[in-house]
Amino acid sequence: MKLCMIGTGYVGLVSGTCFADIGHTVYCVDKDEAKIEKLNSSQSPIYEPGLDELIKENYKANRLFFTSNLSEAVNKSDIIFICVGTPNKRKSLSVDLKFVYQAVKDIKKVSKGKKIIVTKSTVPVGTGDQIEKILKNSKKFTVVSNPEFLREGEAIRDFKYPDRIVIGSNSSSIFKTMKNLYSPLINKGSKFFTTNRRGAELIKYAANAFLATKITYINEIANLCEKINVNVEDVSLGIGSDLRIGSRFLRAGPSYGGSCFPKDTKGLISIGEKEKVDLSIVKSVVKSNENRKKLILNKISKILKNKIKNKKVSILGVTFKPNTDDMRDSMSLKIIPYLIKKGAIVSYYDPTGEKKEFENLSNCNFYMNINDAVKKADLIILHTEWDEFKSLNFNSLIKKRKTSLYDLRNLLNTEDIKAKNLEYFSIGRPKIN
């Protein structure tokens, strides 16, 4: 099939490349010509393990094209995916759809034949209806919702082996075409699920808010564990082994972040408000996640005995999760400015390099290697669970200095933390020394 992806951000680029990899011909369109030029020299503008190679292979095989020429891409394609950004409006919970609606107007202007228009961006319930209005209910276009469930850092695997593929349309004749599109994945066992268009739009929000709820719940249980000498990982395992609960997304941590959970929980509350439905659980989740950030900052202060001024603090990993360079809503964006404000001297290391977010902070320095970053630290904060931090030898890293380590991801095995001068703190585990 011939496909057009509008927007070469995370969703458009990963999905487009993976669609090409399962045999379709894909035209990825972006208004940003510099980006298109970069892609045409087979360089990915985003950090995603495996994506560079996949772009190169499919580009070479003439299945993947990058262009700024919307008209050409639209008219060569049967299905057009809208993959543009849907940020929250400033100072409001609601979602800004200007990029989606602009893309629809642009398609309408250039499109000649019959087209299926699919929203892949996360859009509020009823957006498909609005798109139909913009298209003046023309019979030329069928509007479909096909939310994506890709996780950053694992997106290629998530695309190729999805738990389910959700298609929402008000015209059931379209389901056969969409099933054909995904047949290489369905043949390998992925579940294909159809519903009406509003149903698919809601599924995306409900899924992300549910996952955020799971994380927030275990984070609160971790707070309790710290008071009563219980290991939260035992609780995660103990409850997660019940198939009705499920073991995934029960890792306690510093608070959920990234470009999706914070935005989509708020987006769902806003949808509820519009419909006059009180989504009180989701509201509590958002509030609890915000409170957690303060709680973690207080704990850091407590570890430093409330004397932060001139303390040397080293942060390992600053992105919101591993295998990505994404800083959006990362807890490090709270921790580092807080420490600097209180007079600490901060050093940080991240496998994806220096971050512009900290460039203008005085007393905050990036180091290219872990050794240099933690040298002389009074406190090391293990912020992101990169694999390379799992086997660190803290004995040789800290030498004989007395140092504290705050492991925000429970990455280290308490048995392995044998360094004599190291005081170890973690999330929801009994204290070991």
The residues that are catalytic are 260
Q: How many residues bind ligand UGA (CB under 6 A)?
A: 20
Site for ligand UGA in 180-199 (CB under 6 A): none
| CA-based R_g, the chain, Å | 24
Phi-psi sector, 418: left (phi>0), alpha (psi -120 to 50), beta? alpha
Instruction: Tell me the CA distances in angstroms from 109 to 80, 145, 322, 388, 424, one per residue in order.
Output: 14, 21, 41, 50, 61
3-state SS, residue 380? strand
Task: At 41, list the tokens.
Answer: 């020299």
The yes or no reply on residue 253 touching ligand UGA (CB under 6 A) is: yes
- The reply to whether 312 sits near ligand UGA by the rule CB under 6 A is no
Window 86 to 125, contacts with ligand UGA (CB under 6 A): 122
Short-list 108, 94, 93, CA closest to 6: 108
Distances (CA, A) of 183 to 22, 115, 143, 159, 177: 9, 20, 20, 13, 10
261 binds ligand UGA (CB under 6 A): yes
Q: Minimum distance from CB of 193 to ligand UGA (Å)?
A: 15
Least spacing, CB of residue 243 vs ligand UGA, in Å:
17
If binding is defined by CB under 6 A, does position 13 make contact with ligand UGA?
no
User: Which parts of 124-143 interact with ligand UGA (CB under 6 A)?
Assistant: none
CA-closest candidate to residue 215, choices 180, 260, 251:
251
**Contact residue for ligand UGA among 75, 249, 297, 334 (CB under 6 A):** 249
Q: Is 166 near ligand UGA (CB under 6 A)?
A: no
Q: Which stretch binds ligand UGA (CB under 6 A): 1-9, 208-216, 348-356, 424-432?
A: 208-216
Joined together, the tokens standing for residue 421 give 């001068």
Tracing tokens 């995904």 back to the chain, one arrives at: 182
Decide if residue 152 touches ligand UGA (CB under 6 A). yes
Given the complex with ligand UGA, which of 262 and 397 has the nearer CB atom? 262
Which listed residue (5, 20, 104, 215) binds ligand UGA by CB under 6 A? 215
User: For binding to ligand UGA (CB under 6 A), which residues are involved?
Assistant: 122, 148-152, 208, 211, 215, 249-251, 253, 256-258, 260-261, 320-321
